Structure 1
């Protein structure tokens, strides 16, 4: 059974030997695919030599790449509710920043191409507080987004890589629905789709995320981040916990049949994070077994 997992399930390793060992552990646990998730945030630029090194590791351990998490720019810029100018931000109203952001995404598209992934996942933080204060800014914001995506489209087509915009938990649900509606109307499915992040969706819509997000956009779901949480609160497992998909109260039974009817092509991909006290071997075994159970729900 083919199944994928995010490479940073343990942590954001920066030591090269640790990264390679993590891939070895993933393969030993039975996973067939990875979601390359290192440097999902920040301004790091991969050299071609590094891209080829990653591919060599994958080939050594018999792994394939389902997807890659691209970066929106400056580390710590996530969840920006207001208009701010971060470096290498493809949504920026400052043209040098926007162009640098496009170049950063192109770097990730090239990495995806070399490691054999056909999709990159990308965040698009909505400055919704600025939208409220200055309604005219919404069209300025989307104008810059369109400009960046227009420039990226031929670059992606040449490398057979699709951009998948991820649903987040920092912005109101209705604005995210508007966001995906705008983008899907403007761009073809061959270029742009949705990364369905189940944990984020649950924090925004609760159990209703299946009907409010997954069903309406099922024809544009090309990437998934499968994980669960216990909603908002201060109990263990609350917030964006990236837990292994095994919570009986989470709507997995409702979601998986929708996913099987969607545009998504397997393998399923888990984006999960070890917690204090977990050991990689045991954790990966639990994650793999949870992924198998999800297949059975389709």
Structure 2
């Protein structure tokens, strides 16, 4: 049974990118996972050199793992990006949504860098944050202002993605209402083909936007290509293992099973939420992942009956 979990960067070793991540990869594989979501440098404007991409591809392959998804970057992530003691040190000079052409083009180049990483892995998609607020849809003028540079960037990325067989998965976030994200997906999916762009369903994020609801899967399940699976109690973005919060996993797995999503599900559950040794966390996470994969398989068998 295929199972997938996010590999995070935990700088507990002096050489965190090679020694540290190799350790994490070994623990993930030993726990029974077959796939990973690559997360180091997600959201940041760090540029990966060709030698880094090749090294990263090699250590994942040597660990006996496959990459189901790469968490890419728009250069604007206030959690993962560099933030210094004064505001101007916040790095957002690469931004696919910028109205300033040099900045927008820099964002396109940065995203191409992560597409190259995904292609080197043989990963089918990259997950992208499209930061949006409810203000975008308050008038036709504000909507045009937001989407014009974004569309230019995506138009330029489309042939690059198709050539490398890497799709973009737009993630459900928390910086706008569920209605605004549904409008975002409506705009993107009506403009671009499924071979280029689809949906990344983030279970914990969507629960905070629409408690107990699954409208995003019901409406756009035909574009579901990536998942960020985690749990919470409905108050904040806890990123817990499934069944440790309040989400209805029976309903969620049935909704996913009704789509053409190619499993495995990807667990986006960082180990720092749990005060246990890394190996213990990954083994527990794998048991939960296997349980959800079986729930998906069972639901699909019933649909086929």
Question: Does TM, normalized by the shorter one, top 0.5?
Answer: yes
- Corresponding residue of 2:247: 250
Aligned residue-pair number: 284
Name the CA distance, whole Å, in 2 between partners of 1:128 and 1:256.
29
Three-state SS of the structure 2 residue aligned to 1:222 is strand
User: CA–CA distance in 2 between the matches of 1:255 and 1:59?
Assistant: 31
Match for 1:292 among 285, 290, 293? 290
Aligned to 2:258: 261
- Find the counterpart in structure 1 of residue 226 from structure 2: 223
1:129 and 1:259 mapped to 2: Cα distance?
Answer: 30
Pairing partner for 2:99 from 93, 100, 119: 93
Which residue is 2:83 aligned to? none
1:75-154, aligned counterparts within 5 Å?
A: 75-76=77-78, 86-129=92-135, 132=138, 136-154=141-159
In structure 1, the gaps of 5 or more residues are 79-83, 233-238
RMSD of aligned Cα (Å): 2.1
- CA positional deviation for 1:116: 1.1
2-side partners of 1:147 and 1:8: how far apart?
Answer: 31
Q: Distance between the aligned counterparts of 2:163 and 2:12, measured in 1?
A: 30
Most deviating of 101-110 and 10-19: 10-19
Q: Any idea what SS the aligned residue of 1:136 has?
A: helix
Q: Taking structure 1 as reference, are residues 11 and 222 closer, same or farther at Cα in structure 2, changes over 3 Å only?
A: farther
SS of match in other structure, 1:206: coil
Taking the aligned partners of 1:273 and 1:123, their CA distance within structure 2 comes to: 19
Query: Post-superposition, which runs of at least 4 consecutive aligned residues in structure 1 deviate over 2 A?
Result: 9-16, 127-132
Moved more, 242-251 or 143-152: 242-251
Contact residue 12 and residue 38 of structure 1 kept, 8 A: no
